[in-house]
Structure 1
């Protein structure tokens, strides 16, 4: 299968490339070859490449910067996915796209006030520009009428690039004490978990006349995260414990203090509850997802 894969300089795109390249012909253009801020360039590239599938992990992920760069965030997260979707529709192929927990406002609770994980059909209400831009991208894909899978993820990390895991490991080497937010909740999800799940689903794709029926029954929006949930504080504690046990820390682990988000002000408001319900994905595709602790262990030791 010929796959057009965007964003291979990012942590998810890089991980996807490593998993898919041995089994497929993967086109992985860099920005000089495909500028996702240029709709005409996107259309021309896809038309000339004529792939069998498009996978779009590319995104504007600077959440705080997006508050001042609305146009930049919208160009990459909203307009570009829409153009890719239009091209997919014209070619009669599928598009796999990644979205975010930040399309929700984090207020979902049960009658007792306990946080609930968001199902796919929950009302969206993004609190920041990044979330609004990602939701607009989802809506553009759906409006195009193309065959699509949209995977909403949360708290993505890997051993590549800039992410929470690598930041905490760096700070653990530099400091004797850390203060981490303890009142925001979600499922830390490794890029490998997301990429491996994507690869498993791609392996299910039929060809020929069976393809349309498969996309009709399986296409849509799904939550794709690890299982379980924790706070940033809890995630940090587990990072330090696992890293220390694996001999990855250069000194004793720093002490850890939990703080409310109000003590760590940032330009973009984050949802308190980023937990996503993954039961629909697992049921539809017959998959089992790892716990967030298992995924972390795999990331640290691979």
Structure 2
């Protein structure tokens, strides 16, 4: 038993996948959706006030009159997509979570919003010259491995029309420096976020080379041990520019976040506006 548990508690190789999907596990995906929909929580989406400020600013830098067809990559339950539609865009949202997409479709139908939602792994999307602009928001880019970051940029680049724009954000080196390595455990006698059953929860935060962080959660129930690995790559300005230029994009402008704050080296996020 010791060897079995020790295997799960060891630090995995960088970008090792989880053996539980936070997006499609029946219980965890429900908790993730609730986190998305909490307007005062930043666990899965940014706070509602930030989202509204962000959409208003995005409409200024990518006006819907010039960039009407918008792709919302990693759209979740549609918090941004609905506001983009109401701002005048023709919106397509894509997300891997079937629960989030089901909620988004239901919400759009209830509100009479003509938004196209697609439940698909965005690493497999194959649009060509379809969209005038795209967003990839809440630092999802850095949660991908190096190879998959290249793939998502290729996919978005191919899906944009010539002159199309992409806005996305990443965590900066300031976030990496602030990240604290810890390991904690707790007994969840009545279940919780990670499982409806009684379970032991072991949480660890670890730093890796190349400014990579891991938030690892091990869930031990009576009959299973499962692990969730949430990876994040934090970027310097130079490392970010190197990756986007390899994909063929041209840098347009840098910002401190996707609501238009000025870029400074002491901010915890970097937002970048690119052009095909």
Could you state the TM-score of these two structures normalised by the residue count of structure 1? 0.25
Structure with the bigger percentage of strand: 2
Structure with the bigger percentage of helix: 1
